Amino acid sequence: MPLKSQKEKAEDFRALHHGRRILILPNGWDVPSARLFEDAGFPAIATSSAGMLVSLGYPDGEVIGRTEFVSAVGRIARVLSVPLSADVVAGFGKTTKEVLVTVKAILKTGAVGIN
């Protein structure tokens, strides 16, 4: 399946939230798991922060640096033709401004949602 632009993925993701069907987002933790869900026919995928962290050798929680976390999300976002929503734990910040830095970085990877 050809890769879509981030704008197209965002439009698809929005439409999925307003469709007649319940939106079920399987949680991928790395590139192979996300591709598996896409190949299974899911119209969008979310990341599992716990799954991602464990697959990278960390316990669940914000014990990983923002840069490494964002990079891991980016690796997943780049290979999918369906929308990706990223679980950003508590946002990697203590203030709204710090969380906004995380959100902007995640969106730059090609993900289209934050949870």
pLDDT of 3 higher than 90:
no
- Give the CATH fold of the 6-114 domain: TIM Barrel (3.20.20)
Task: Please report the pLDDT score of residue 28 as a whole number.
Answer: 98
pLDDT of 1 higher than 70:
no
Mean pLDDT, the chain, integer: 95
User: Which tens digits make up the pLDDT trace of 44-80?
Assistant: 999 999 999 999 999 988 789 999 999 999 999 999 9
Q: How confident is the model at residue 25 (pLDDT cuts 50, 70, 90)?
A: very high
The secondary structure of residue 25, as a DSSP letter, is -
CA-to-CA distance for 29 and 1, rounded, in angstroms? Answer: 21
Phi, then psi, of 98 in degrees rounded to 5: -65, -40
Task: Please report the pLDDT score of residue 63 as a whole number.
Answer: 85
CA-to-CA distance for 30 and 17, rounded, in angstroms? Answer: 24
Radius of gyration of the chain (CA): 14
- What dihedral do alpha carbons 36, 39, 6, 54 form, nearest 10°? -10
